[in-house]
């Protein structure tokens, strides 16, 4: 089985712009979660989608949003980018929802905001 894929792998944007990141889960997986990874804050949970519904959300401002499509692919959008949004954005998929399902992470999208 192919692993979790994320596109693009690298992205450079300027402050004020918006960005959309894409995640394709492992075939058959219906849950997709997004995380932000930075040296200072570590790994922080953004949100989780299951069957096209947002099941859980972390403590991030409303500029961060996401959605999931019927084929389980997911997108994450960040509007009005700030310098502090520079981070590695990781997507993880699992067969079902909930913490006991092993999450399989993609390689991440490295976002740099100038």
Partner 1 sequence: QQQVKQSPQSLIVQKGGISIINCAYENTAFDYFPWYQQFPGKGPALLIAIRPDVSEKKEGRFTISFNKSAKQFSLHIMDSQPGDSATYFCAAVYSSASKIIFGSGTRLSIRP
Beta bridge partners of 65: 77
Cβ proximity to partner 1: between 60 and 105 the closer is 105
Burial class (CB in 10 A: 0-12, 13-18, 19+), 100: exposed
Q: Which stretch binds partner 1 (CB under 8 A): 12-20, 60-68, 69-77, 89-97?
A: 89-97
Distance, CA of 7 to CA of 33 (rounded, Å): 15
Q: What angle do CA 94, 62, 87 make, to 5 degrees?
A: 60
The upper half-sphere exposure of residue 82, i.e. CA atoms within 13 Å in the direction of its Cβ, equals: 6
Considering the rule CB under 8 A, would residue 76 count as an interface residue with partner 1?
no
Considering the rule CB under 8 A, would residue 60 count as an interface residue with partner 1?
no
Considering the rule CB under 8 A, would residue 52 count as an interface residue with partner 1?
no
Considering the rule CB under 8 A, would residue 26 count as an interface residue with partner 1?
no
Cβ proximity to partner 1: between 50 and 85 the closer is 50
Residues contributing to the site for partner 1 (CB under 8 A): 4, 42-45, 48, 55-56, 90, 92, 97-100, 102-108
């Amino acid at each position: 089985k192919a692993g979790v894929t994320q596109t693009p792998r690298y992205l450079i944007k300027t402050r004020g712009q918006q960005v959309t990141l894409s995640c394709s889960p492992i075939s058959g997986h219906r849950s997709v979660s997004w995380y932000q990874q930075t040296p200072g804050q570590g790994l922080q949970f953004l949100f989780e989608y299951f069957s096209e519904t947002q099941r859980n959300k972390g403590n991030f401002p409303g500029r961060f949003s996401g959605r999931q499509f019927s084929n389980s692919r997911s997108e994450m959008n960040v509007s009005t980018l700030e310098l502090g949004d520079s981070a590695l954005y990781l997507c993880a998929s699992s067969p079902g929802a909930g913490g006991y399902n092993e999450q399989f992470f993609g390689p991440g999208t490295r976002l740099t905001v100038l």
